[in-house]
Chains A and B, each alone.
Chain A
């Protein structure tokens, strides 16, 4: 026993040294700020002491909780759309093509992310605004008489969200689908299966960890996205992160902003937990 524990101690030290950056990162950038947010949101600004006032404000003012729900629903929708578009793309990359072209296609998914999110979003604005590329082209072709505004609708926000999250869905899907041996699919055909039920009974169950981890990442990114809804949705985008921004920066109401921040954290945790329960996956399995 003693020899074992003695021989393990240097390994333990090394492990802690390796883990140190991660632990510091978690502590300084995640845990401490959130504890601070929590204290802010629960303390009365003037007299000090404990209060639920700012959470009450959230439930009292319909704009707040409606924006909150809208953000959640839109994010779920964006996640589903990303999955529906990303799955065939991932399947094509992982299973249909071989060799060099596989790497090239994968890189093509990655290339847009070399540009900053801000620039990418402006790119969409150049395409979609009233005097933009698409509107002008439609006029030139004679489909419409005057310019048409394609920005500042929910559909535009959705487009932006799906576009900016696509990579984070495709990467985990490609890696799980890559690990599905072709012989399983062949065995499915051999035993009389057609495309649809091989997809449903063999491919999707195998890819489930990838699907769930992709969905979690995309959902979190959409829920916490600020740039895309603001730039593509304009004044009416009504995204919850915007409300937080307004509280902190415009109103200088840090307590209210903190309460919103905590609520957003609770919401995202709750939906991810529900998603895992519904699909019967565990968090460790999908992340492993």
Chain B
């Protein structure tokens, strides 16, 4: 079955629901969105991931119709919506603080959009009941918004939009206000609901874990531009820019200079003295040019004995600190010779149970695991 569905998907690519063409938005002092183009196929979960102030909210508000782009075009189902006001667009939005109307009960909230469309009363009641059933809150129609828990409010806010069968559903960091446990649970629920309803979701967030878990496609945005658009897998394993490598997932990052290069492989000496080998990304480098090297903590093989296999990067370190966080525990290690710092994921095996500070560790990773990008001053600024 799965195979048949898969081949179907490949055979007929789904139609494009949203196409943005060269969108720019200039405010008096600065450019919030700078020449962004992308398309979203029907039924997919598309996330825009970026730090605060990167322009993602402005972009979303342009899709909803609350702002209009300075230049460029927004097409929903091949038709430009630039001249369509927000209340006429086939687009609905879940607001950051949900904006459930406190003066109405749940059923009135969910039915608000249907009443605006002039749907008959009996049909409104029926459709509201149906959508409340689908989001798993069948008996909450008569409740006041203030009586609902955080997670229930999320679902009501979704139901209020989904009952209108929008072409696009925009979500403006709706999970931001929830506590961690509930957020983890809502991530799964949101993804599940998106699959069930088959609605195209455009989700903006600054939380990379939300984006990675839920999305089919993620656009990483910085300074008003898309740095990279791709599947979560692509962004994580094949970042195209230094910003993506540092923003998506955890990474060790070292700044250093190229000391030697053979083809794609660079040998780099970092500022704190480590000598590493990595793969050049995004162009070629001159000797002595400044680069940033990124290595994922979990890509580093850790052992307490001298390893049998030799890899390109081999470091002998002592444990400087252990950051215990259950399955996500990490070790901060210092290389004896150079004093360079490196962060590695702690293997969850019996060998490491009694690991303590000042123990010796052997860290190894291949050249392919170390990605070299040309040096970015911005990342330095974030760190300090």
Contact = CB atoms under 8 A, between A and B. Distances in A.
Physical interaction between A and B:
yes
Interface of A: 181, 183-184, 186-194, 197, 201-202, 205-206
Chain B CB within 10 Å, residue with most, of A186, A191, A194: A191
B362 interface: no
Interface stretch (B94-102, B124-132, B136-144): B94-102
B101 A184 contact: yes
A202 B103 contact: yes
A192 B101 contact: no
A110 B287 CA distance: 71
A188 B100 CA distance: 10
Given A191-B164, A205-B103, A186 B112 contact: no
Interface stretch (B85-93, B252-260, B296-304, B312-320): B85-93
Nearest to A186: B66
A189 B160 CA distance: 13
A194 B113 CA distance: 11
B371 interface: no
Interface residues of B, number: 25
B101 A187 contact: yes
Nearest to B108: A201
A196 to B, nearest CB: 11
Contacts of A188: 101, 112
Contacts of B96: 183
A184 B99 CA distance: 5
Contacts of A181: 97, 99
Given A184-B101, A202-B101, A205-B103, A192 B113 contact: yes
A201 B87 contact: no
B64 A191 contact: no
B97 A189 contact: no
Ranked nearest first, the 8 interchain pairs of A and B with the lowest CB-CB distance are: A192-B116, A205-B103, A191-B113, A187-B99, A183-B99, A189-B87, A189-B86, A183-B95
Nearest to B96: A183
B110 to A, nearest CB: 10
B222 to A, nearest CB: 26
A192 B117 contact: yes
A187 B87 CA distance: 9
A82 to B, nearest CB: 24
B61 to A, nearest CB: 9
Contact of A190 (B87, B102, B103, B104): B87
Contacts of B66: 186, 189
Nearest to B64: A190
5 contacts: A183-B96, A186-B99, A188-B112, A192-B117, A194-B116
Nearest to A205: B103
A193 B99 contact: no
Contacts of A202: 101, 103
Contact of B93 (A187, A193, A206): A187
A224 B66 CA distance: 47
B18 to A, nearest CB: 16
A197 B116 contact: yes
Contacts of B86: 186, 189-190
A181 B87 CA distance: 18
B273 to A, nearest CB: 52
A186 B64 CA distance: 10
Contacts of B101: 184, 187-188, 201-202
Contacts of B112: 188, 191, 193, 201
Nearest to B163: A191
Contacts of B102: 206
